[in-house]
Amino acid sequence: MNPYRDFDNYDKEYPNEEGYFGKFGGNYLNDPELKKAFQEYAEGYNTIAHSARFIHELRRIRRDFQGRPTPVYHCDRLSRLLGRTQIYLKREDLNHTGAHKINHCMGEALLAKSMGKTKLIAETGAGQHGVALATAAAYFGLDCDIYMGEVDIAKQAPNVARMKILGANVIPVSHGLKTLKEAVDAAFEAYAREYKHAVYCIGTAAGPHPFPLMVRDFQRVIGDEARAQFIEQTGHLPDKVVACVGGGSNSIGMFVPFLSDPVELYGVEPLGHGDKFGQHAATVTYGEEGVMHGFNSFMLADENGDPAPVYSNASGLDYPAVGPEHAMLHTMDRVKYVTIGDEEAIEALYLLSRNEGIIPAIESAHALAYAIRICKEGKPGSILVNLSGRGDKDLDYVIEHYGFGEGTPTKDNDDTFMYR
Ligand SMILES: Cc1ncc(COP(=O)(O)O)c(C=O)c1O
């Protein structure tokens, strides 16, 4: 008996027309100009993005430019090292630009172009979303303004250089803490001023309606492909599917096609240094319901309701809120949200690198670390992990803080190696 048959019509039911996933989501922006801009965007999305021409063009871009479909890969050597559970990876790290972010950036940019807009606006923290969006802008010949806090600009010099080489304007934000929150505010203000010729492109499945819906739909290519590929390779569904959760884009894209299957779903949040306020960014696990950046969801806030300081060694996971669909899936108990700390993620990064020849992003290593924890229980079964990105961007940081991973166990005895 499949306990999840109630989810058969899930994506037709959620979100509703106002962008609510149960009580989460919506659009809480007060600025009337921004309200108008988002209204126009939602209408554009509902009509243009569902046309046969749009769908056909996005498929072509994904195949010819992004390199999709990305493979599902069986980690035979790592699985044998860990015991009886079989680990499989959905290789989103093999996308052009090295992570899943390009999936929704190409969709958002194609929509902008189809709506007759000439500019893309976004904020970026670590620079990953900025680089993916600058790439999309270059592909479509659109202008691109990326707002970035001065502190982040100094920390993320290689990504700033990539965005500039791709032709984007990186606009420094110099007030407040000079990091992501101020950059989000500055990008929203720019959108309110410029929406007649520009669109705002969010970096994750969060924000006011229609972003959580739009990003989910553009990212679900991950789960749609992975589900079909896994069944083709093994003849059955995986027992468990695991993905890391920052704002929630790679995980929601992975989970949605599995919601009505008898498959356990795990969203992995960053525990950073520990469970005290300020040490982590585990929003679903430790946060509370509230409104931030124009939408209602779980968030980590201070006593004034402002975004709390959050921390993880994965800069793509240290966001103080989570996409509203995750908040709903948590309250429905359909996805289990669990945590992994800095050190365990780095151990997973080394294990995968040394046993399979794949260096994952620290974000993705959080998901892998949870799969490894399950493997250590020693039971037979299969786990499909979304490897959301590659680790090249993290290497300097990893070497400086953790070294080269000497002493990591490897599966030496390869007597059982066969041509697969
Ligand atoms: C490789 C990678 N994985 C995961 C994330 C987390 O974002 P999300 O939860 O939106 O997938 C990021 C964010 O920058 C990322 O770069």
Confidence check: pLDDT of 203 > 60: yes
pLDDT tens string 239-286: 999 999 999 999 999 999 999 999 999 999 999 999 999 999 999 999
Give me the DSSP letters along 247-273. Answer: SSHHHHHHHGGGTTSS-EEEEEEEEET
**CA-CA distance, 246 to 53, in Å (whole number)?**
32
Confidence check: pLDDT of 414 > 70: no
- Kindly list the catalytic residues: 75, 100
Q: Residue 416: pLDDT band by 50, 70, 90 thresholds? A: low
pLDDT at position 125: 87
What is the 361 CA–ligand 1 centroid distance (Å)? Answer: 9
Residue 388, ligand 1, Cβ within 6 A: yes
Q: What percent of the chain has pLDDT over 90?
A: 85
Residue 247, ligand 1, Cβ within 6 A: yes
Is residue 223 within 8 Å of 252, Cβ to Cβ?
Answer: no
Query: What pTM was computed for the model?
Result: 0.96
What is the 45 CA–ligand 1 centroid distance (Å)? Answer: 23
pLDDT at position 180: 82
Q: Name which residue leads in pLDDT, 5 or 216.
A: 216
pLDDT at position 307: 85
Residue 267, ligand 1, Cβ within 6 A: no
Is residue 15 within 8 Å of 209, Cβ to Cβ?
Answer: yes
**CA-CA distance, 194 to 184, in Å (whole number)?**
15
Probe ligand 1: pick from 388, 390, 392, 397, max atoms within 8 Å of CB?
A: 388
List the domain boundaries for the chain: 30-63+101-215, 67-98+219-402
Confidence check: pLDDT of 417 > 60: no
Q: Which listed CATH number (3.30.420.40, 3.40.50.1100, 3.40.47.10, 3.40.50.1980) goes with 67-98+219-402?
A: 3.40.50.1100
List the residue whose alpha carbon is closest to atom 13 of ligand 1.
316
List the residue whose alpha carbon is closest to atom 16 of ligand 1.
316
Residue 323, ligand 1, Cβ within 6 A: no
What is the 363 CA–ligand 1 centroid distance (Å)? Answer: 6
What is the 413 CA–ligand 1 centroid distance (Å)? Answer: 35
Q: Do domains 30-63+101-215 and 67-98+219-402 have the same CATH topology?
A: yes
CB atoms within 10 A of CB 30: 7
Residue 202, ligand 1, Cβ within 6 A: no
Closest CA to 219 of 338, 130, 99, 350: 99
Residue 219, ligand 1, Cβ within 6 A: no
What is the 1 CA–ligand 1 centroid distance (Å)? Answer: 34
Class of domain 30-63+101-215: alpha beta
Residue 179, ligand 1, Cβ within 6 A: no
